[in-house]
Structure 1
Amino acid sequence: MKYNELNNLCLEYHELVPGLMSVENYNKSRQRGTITVYGYGGLGREVLIDYESLSDERKKKIIEKYGNPYEYIVKQPLTDWVTINWNQKAFDFYNNTNGKGYTLPSGLNLPEAYRDKYTKAVSYMDGIIHYTTDKMALKRDFNITMAAFWSIVADVIKAEKVGLPPNETRLKEKIKAYKAQGFPVLIEQYRFGNDNSKKVKDQQAEDTLMHLIALDNKHDDVVISQAYNMWALENGRKTITPQAVGYRRRENYHEVIIAREGKAAAYNKYNKQIKQARPTAPLIYVNSDDNVLDLYFTETTYKDGRKNVNRYYRPVMYVVVDNYNDYPLGYAIGETVTIELIKQAYRNAMAHIVELTGDAYLWHQIKSDKWSIDPALKGDLATFLKMGGESTFFTASVAQSKYIERVFSHPLHKILKMYPNYSGANITARGANARPNAEALQKRSANFPDKKHAPAVIEMTINQMRHAQMPGTDLTRQEYWLKGFHESEISQKKRLSVERKIEILGAKHQLRDPRESLRLQPAGLNFQLNNIKYSFDIPAKYFPECVNKKVDVYYDPADMSQVLVTDHSGIRFVTGQYVLQPSAVADMQEGDGHRLHERKEEKKAITQKMVDYVTSRDERLQRAEIDAQSILQAGVLVKAINHKAQKQIGGYEEQYDDVQIEHKARPKAPKITQSIYDEM
């Protein structure tokens, strides 16, 4: 409150609105002219409301709060001083600003209401100390005696609802303690740290109760209170009610959740999450995970001549998802998750990438479950995943880092709900107690499809997910993925050759009999897979040296047109299936003639290579003037003579017999001047 230039008693805007008059009523009264207002406000300008222009009802409310305004205005200097000299250091202490202030015994900060209450009280004590120690200021601002000032202080504390005792004696004691102890003196410990009202207030009793609550049996509050009370009576503690147990459990559940529900539940519910941005382009980060499909199928088996029908069979689906837009790249289904099932899902993903883009492109990073990965990351599956780029793994049972979990929730179930064999239909409860309506499922179970139809149903489901609309766009997920792929250089960076694709994702052909082996034969590379006979061509350059060599064959189950052949040493090539040559001229089609010509040329080259072996060898013997034929015509040769002849053919003298001697340039073999028969 203050007097304006016309010497009229006025209330400041904040003293009237909104505490004693609503903003809406104030604006209407001002527009109608039923109250007198000085100033327009805004940009720091002052607004004053003439006290005498207010209605009697409004004046009554003002008097109830502030007392007689003409008397209260005498007290205004103290309020003004506090407003100007608000104690920021006290606020920082009670606010625990930068972690350098007060914290509750629990480690939390003071509630904001108490922070502001204590700061206000400190600021008023500072004002009181100012005027009681500076008599010149007291005379200048109040022009009253010290005794009168203490009376004014009491009225101000009541009117402004300051958290200080209005009684002069008690107030002086509080100010004295404040000078000695500082800001902590105002904190009402009983509100935050005093446990006098608690029935469970010593550490042993607290530990006993929390241990009972933490038992993984998950007993209800009544049972826990009964067990605790038996212990309490035996050990001189107060008994408690089930309601007290429930309150303690809810308030401290973070202390018992690991024991009651396990580390995964505690991690998901209470641990801090690290939020991540989506990948900016396709194929730079993919997730893979398994999902027990929420569809029932009929499974028929026979045992001991009896037919058994299981109408609630559910297959396992393993899915590879591109995190760019939750696009399902590939999948595989089976009875359970195996290493081969995971590999098949990734092969399916690569086949789909080839289908979409026309080429094989590898992903940059994989993140999958680690359930079947050995700790050293050197096993079969770990090696398989690492060949595709950087591999990381989910923490066990933790869904926070799995984009793929979102795919398995709403998008997938939105489609599955359309199927009559959906296992989650007709839910009778929600949340953790959700369960299918058993009666409804039983009625429909006779019409559940046979498990042989599961692949077709799942393929249809995946395609529906791929062609569903991408949220926030007018494109399908597949169209959105392709658009991102073609616009990104990094997505197209890891383009694979056929050889590299089969090496990374291919399956090794396993023979039924481990004693057998695949060999390169003049008739080609021939083997049988899934009761289908295959014959693949062998490049001419491997003839005749590699004929009958053992090799391994790797193939892409989705594309048997080409395979990778290797002996993991010098032989390594990608080849296609052998195309039979028509024997009848009338059967020949375009391209057969050219192919026949090439094959004949290859045969000529192979024949010439074998002829060249003989010619080269004979030329070397002639240059050495050795008649190898005459050596054999002797029939049985003396071992020493035969050995000497072989050394002469090889170009070595006797001094080079020791293999430890460093090889030097071979000297020319001495010319044989007499028949070897003379030495026999």
Structure 2
Amino acid sequence: MKFDTQNRLCIEGHEFIRTSHSPEGLVPKGTYDSLKQRNRIEVLDRGGNGRSVLIVYETLPDNYKQLILEKYGNPYIYVAKQPLLQFIRKDIKAERFFLDYRYDEHKCLPTTHVSQYTQAASWLNMLLEMRNNKRQVKKQLGLTMEEFWKVVLEMVVVQNIELPHSYRRLTEKLQAYQQEGYAALIDWRFGNQNSTKVKDKLAEAVLFELISHPNQHDDSVIATAYNQWAQQRSYPTIGAGTVGNYRRNNAYQLQLFREGNAAWYNQYGRQTKRNRPSAPLLLVGSDDNDIDLYFRDEQSNAQGRLQVQYYHRFKAVIISDAFNDYPLGYCYADGISTELVKMAYLDAMHHIYTLTGAWYLPHQLQTDRWNLKALLPFYQSVDAEYFPASAKSPRGKYIERSFGKQWHQHLRRFQNYAGNNITSDFRLNPDHMANAKTQFPHKEEGITILEAFIDGLRQEKDPETGMSRQEVWMAAFQASDMSKARCISEEQMLRLFGVRHEYTNTITNGGIRLTIQGKPYEYQIPDELYLQHVGKKIQVIYDPLDFSRILVTDEHQLRFIASSYEKLPAARADYQTGDQERLFRLLQQKKAMVQQIMDKKKDRAAILAEHQTDAMGLLQARVMIKETKQAAESIALHTPVLPPENFDPLDLM
């Protein structure tokens, strides 16, 4: 406060307006702005260059004058004491001391306490100066020492200085300050051990070991155990509250032993901040998740009675692109398995194909270590530099973030929502769940519900752009050459993600016939491979999500893709458009095969004639050495009997 040039009492802006820089102010800045705009107060605009505005006291409404009276007392008397404040100079060395101060290894003082202690040190410096120079008190302030101390105590209260409010205690603090320096102002909460009951390293070590026990004993139990030890050595006893303070203040070094490595890592392990991938398919992760949806599972027991499990939940493996948490694929079952993981990746490949029209591999995989021994070859076939995430380290996997708030917001759309997992704070009404369980969908409806759930995540709109997650993924994919860099053929896709049929098969004149889970499938052989490989044993690799084609191989020189066999109708009445043309094409192919054999026979005859060699004459000769006989027999066995000139292969149909 101060008087203006017209000798009017004014309150300074920082004393009246409460802001983050002036928390001691009386009213919020919004209130001040309102009073000023409505001309309820007179303001002298002196702001700028560090100067505060001045508000004429007498123009303030009565309710705001009352606030000043409650804090400062009579403002005219208060301002008369202001010369005392001119002798208080901020102690920069004290501020640096409190900023640099550390306790409990690396803890520092809160900013508010740094300011409070610095202000208190500045006041104590002034008091020491005045006590040592009593003439200055009389000359500069016109006060006796008794009046001086009275004014000081009043100002300590009004200014909210972190110093005692009585003369005796203030002089005691002044004496301690002279002896100990700045440290005398720090209280026990921040490492000052003057009032603590656990003083030496031995006592602290005993207490810490009791708190860090993996059984996580209650604070009262630990206090009892510690006090038994302390009494035997004449140490002060402690209460459960003291144990709690030590447990909370030192959790960073005790939690590791109380709750284990994973809990400590998740709370105190230093994070390595990373940017999301710059484009789709640069980093793809997979993880299993208990889908929080309940289904009815109805089964008959040995006696034929129907038994119902109302709270069945599926286990799913989710494949997610870290670019924008886009769910590329998924597969679910009653339990997790190696096959379930591979099927989820196959589903992701099909979804990528649906979106882009081609098969694209991700650049990098990120998974946990579940069944790693069995899955490692599969992961490495997709990502040659694959390395699993650290054990018990969910924070290191982007996909873990997918199973958060937005995930459950979409699950809540379904009436069979099961709530968050058991460790979550969110719980559903148990009475509601008991009443609604008979309305839970049957587990056979899971495929429809889970498809709707995943599609909801894919089509979720970004409120800022108005684009769905799928649209964002597609736009980024089309704009990125890196996303398209790992395009593979259909044969490569089947080799990487297909399933090997459990038995070998044979190429017959009817094509390839195989049975998968009791259902027969037939495939036709490409014309150019048929004659050479009919009758050969082969291995089939199929796509469980698309049986329209298979990969066929003998694991040596034969490898091709066979398409589903398209049968022709036997009755002309059943013909569809194109069937007639296809029939004639097949008949012509049969003729072409016979013609191919005949052409090869003519080629061999021409070669023999050119070299004046009679293969049949060798067989008719009386004397025939062993090697010549064997060669001739071999030729005879592999030379087909010529069909009659009027032979037509259509006669065999």
Aligned counterparts, 1:526-565, within 5 A: 526-542=513-529, 545-565=532-552
Deviations 1:384-422 (A, max 9, x none): 464157645444444434444454444444454454544
Deviations 1:416-467 (A, max 9, x none): 4454544349x9x994594762x65455444544433333333343344444
Instruction: Give the Cα separation in 2 of the matches to 1:311 and 1:28.
Output: 64
Q: Does the alignment pair 1:518 with 2:508?
A: no
Give the aligned partner of residue 291 of structure 1.
Answer: 289
The code of the aligned residue for 1:604 comes to: Q
Give the aligned partner of residue 255 of structure 2.
Answer: 257
| Greater displacement, 528-537 / 302-311 | 302-311
Give the aligned partner of residue 645 of structure 2.
Answer: none
**2:382 maps to which of 377, 387, 407:** 387
Gap change, CA 1:386 and 1:11, over 3 Å in 2: farther
Q: Which has the larger radius of gyration?
A: 1
Q: Does the alignment pair 1:455 with 2:459?
A: no
Q: Does the alignment pair 1:400 with 2:399?
A: no
Gap change, CA 1:63 and 1:297, over 3 Å in 2: closer
3-state SS of paired residue (2:108): coil
Instruction: Give the Cα separation in 2 of the matches to 1:626 and 1:539.
Output: 36
The code of the aligned residue for 1:560 comes to: F
Give the aligned partner of residue 209 of structure 1.
Answer: 207
Q: Does the alignment pair 1:42 with 2:48?
A: yes
Q: CA deviation at 1:197?
A: 3.0
Instruction: Give the Cα separation in 2 of the matches to 1:171 and 1:44.
Output: 33
CA contact (8 A) 1:421 1:448 kept: yes
Q: CA deviation at 1:367?
A: 2.2
CA contact (8 A) 1:331 1:346 kept: yes
CA contact (8 A) 1:296 1:423 kept: no
CA contact (8 A) 2:501 2:542 kept: yes
Instruction: Give the Cα separation in 2 of the matches to 1:510 and 1:416.
Output: 38
* Number of residues of Structure 1 aligned to a counterpart in Structure 2: 608
CA contact (8 A) 2:9 2:76 kept: no
Q: CA deviation at 1:585?
A: 7.5
Give the aligned partner of residue 593 of structure 1.
Answer: 584
Q: Does the alignment pair 1:193 with 2:191?
A: yes
**1:94 maps to which of 94, 98, 108:** 98
Give the aligned partner of residue 365 of structure 2.
Answer: 366
3-state SS of paired residue (1:562): strand
Give the aligned partner of residue 497 of structure 1.
Answer: 489
Q: CA deviation at 1:576?
A: 1.6
Give the aligned partner of residue 650 of structure 2.
Answer: none
Gap change, CA 1:155 and 1:631, over 3 Å in 2: farther
Q: CA deviation at 1:295?
A: 1.1
- TM-score, structure 1 normalization: 0.70
Q: CA deviation at 1:338?
A: 0.8
CA contact (8 A) 2:117 2:186 kept: no
The code of the aligned residue for 2:288 comes to: D
Give the aligned partner of residue 656 of structure 1.
Answer: none
- TM-score, structure 2 normalization: 0.73
Instruction: Give the Cα separation in 2 of the matches to 1:591 and 1:424.
Output: 58
Instruction: Give the Cα separation in 1 of the matches to 2:615 and 2:287.
Output: 73
CA contact (8 A) 1:213 1:249 kept: yes
Give the aligned partner of residue 220 of structure 1.
Answer: 218
Gap change, CA 1:521 and 1:214, over 3 Å in 2: same
The code of the aligned residue for 1:593 comes to: F
Q: CA deviation at 1:66?
A: 10
Gap change, CA 1:476 and 1:221, over 3 Å in 2: same
Q: CA deviation at 1:477?
A: 4.1
Instruction: Give the Cα separation in 2 of the matches to 1:63 and 1:314.
Output: 69
Deviations 1:261-297 (A, max 9, x none): 3332332233344454444544333332222233132
3-state SS of paired residue (1:266): helix
Q: CA deviation at 1:143?
A: 12
Instruction: Give the Cα separation in 2 of the matches to 1:201 and 1:227.
Output: 17
Q: CA deviation at 1:568?
A: 3.5
Give the aligned partner of residue 669 of structure 1.
Answer: none
The code of the aligned residue for 2:48 comes to: G
Deviations 1:630-653 (A, max 9, x none): 4884567478x999x99xxxxxxx
Deviations 1:508-552 (A, max 9, x none): 1111xxxxx334445433322233333333344446554544432
3-state SS of paired residue (1:400): helix
CA contact (8 A) 2:186 2:192 kept: no
The code of the aligned residue for 1:336 comes to: G
Deviations 1:9-51 (A, max 9, x none): 987836864579768689969998998x876333556767899
CA contact (8 A) 1:3 1:9 kept: yes
CA contact (8 A) 2:14 2:52 kept: no
3-state SS of paired residue (1:564): strand
Q: Does the alignment pair 1:108 with 2:96?
A: no
Aligned counterparts, 1:648-659, within 5 A: none
| Greater displacement, 467-476 / 326-335 | 467-476
CA contact (8 A) 1:132 1:146 kept: no
CA contact (8 A) 2:539 2:553 kept: yes
Instruction: Give the Cα separation in 2 of the matches to 1:486 and 1:567.
Output: 38
**1:423 maps to which of 418, 423, 429:** 418
| Paired-residue identity, % | 29
CA contact (8 A) 1:289 1:318 kept: yes
Q: Does the alignment pair 1:605 with 2:592?
A: no
